[in-house]
Amino acid sequence: MNNTLTRWILCAALALAVLASPARAWGPEGHEIVADIAEHYLTPVAREKVKDLLGSKKLGDVEISSWPDIIRGTKEYEATYPGNGRWHYVDFNVSQRYDDNFELKLPGDGQDIVTQIGRWRDELAAPKASRKRKLDALRFLVHFAADLHQPLHCAYRYGDMGGNMIPVNSFSGRHYSFGPTTPMDYAPSIHSVWDEAMVNELMAGRRVRTVVRELRKDIAPDQMARWIKDPVFDWAVDSYWRARKEVYRWPNGESVPWKWARPGMDLTSENYIDARLPLVRGQLQKAGVRLAHLLNSALDPAYVPPTAPAPEPAETAK
């Protein structure tokens, strides 16, 4: 079977999986973008070890970067990795009142995305782990690092399942659209908009490599250092605040409506799409840089994370 046919079959399988499940962050193109950004920042040692695991494949190939979505819910992998469907997100409540007692906590059962990123990073680094185990660890890590930066994989409001219960009746973007005639079994929601439609709008019909090149050139070394200095939990908290302050709000600052059934949100109004594209760009950039950091730290014993320059001392008043 040739590579083109194999990729087509995998993409078709992923498309069916997307239609059947409510939480598929960024879609295959978004995951490919994140993985390709990360690949650029790998150290030579980490790059060689990744190549040893993947052979002729690349991190961004759909069977690598989207593999956890493809195997999700299958009998084989549910037996091997029970509960893996819960590993793609963490539930932080946007409805929680922000006051002096405000605190975000992991659920504590180890089935959340933050814990799983740590788990699979350690598995990838483990000297005695089998080749198959390391390959699975690499695929989980590549995927979850991207998922973590889709804000609705770190937040929910009023039990809305991360926006899956907030229907959208109109999203007529320039490069991705659905409207009132969309079949109900697809159930477009604000979550599905953020999973895939926003990335399609960002791509604007261009190739992934073109978008990756554009995103990479805007990443400064001091930004990279700031993005990786905090632990993974803080990355999730940042995504939570992005959801709370931007995803769940119109550009004018008002909260998006809460509706359980159609008619739902009309995202063609209020300039929502254009206003949120900078957030999509930034989240994909962060995800790529942070994924590279995770892979370098797991695979290269000599890896030294970049550090941001110290701020200039303030001049003493004379």
- pLDDT tens digits, residue range 193-247? 999 899 999 999 999 999 999 999 999 999 999 999 999 999 999 999 999 999 9
Asked if residues 230 and 312 have their Cβ atoms less than 8 Å apart, the reply is no
Query: Residue 185: which pLDDT band, with cuts at 50, 70 and 90?
Result: very low
On the 0-12 / 13-18 / 19+ scale of CB atoms within 10 A, 255 is: exposed
3-state secondary structure 129-179: CCHHHHHHHHHHHHHHHHHCCCHHHCCECCCCCCCCCCEEEEEECCCCEEC
The CATH number of the structural domain formed by 85-109+146-299 is 1.10.575.10
Query: Residue 318: which pLDDT band, with cuts at 50, 70 and 90?
Result: very low
- pLDDT tens digits, residue range 163-175? 988 888 777 777 7
Asked if residues 168 and 193 have their Cβ atoms less than 8 Å apart, the reply is yes
Asked if residues 192 and 184 have their Cβ atoms less than 8 Å apart, the reply is no
Average pLDDT, the chain: 87
What mean pLDDT do residues 13-28 have?
56
CA-CA distances (angstroms) from residue 5 to 1, 31, 139, 229? 7, 20, 21, 41
303: pLDDT strictly greater than 90: yes
- Residue 120 tokens read as 């699979």
On the 0-12 / 13-18 / 19+ scale of CB atoms within 10 A, 317 is: exposed
What mean pLDDT do residues 109-135 have?
98
- pLDDT tens digits, residue range 102-119? 889 999 999 999 999 999
pLDDT of residue 46: 99
What mean pLDDT do residues 240-265 have?
83
- pLDDT tens digits, residue range 30-88? 999 999 999 999 999 999 999 999 999 999 999 999 999 999 989 999 999 999 999 99
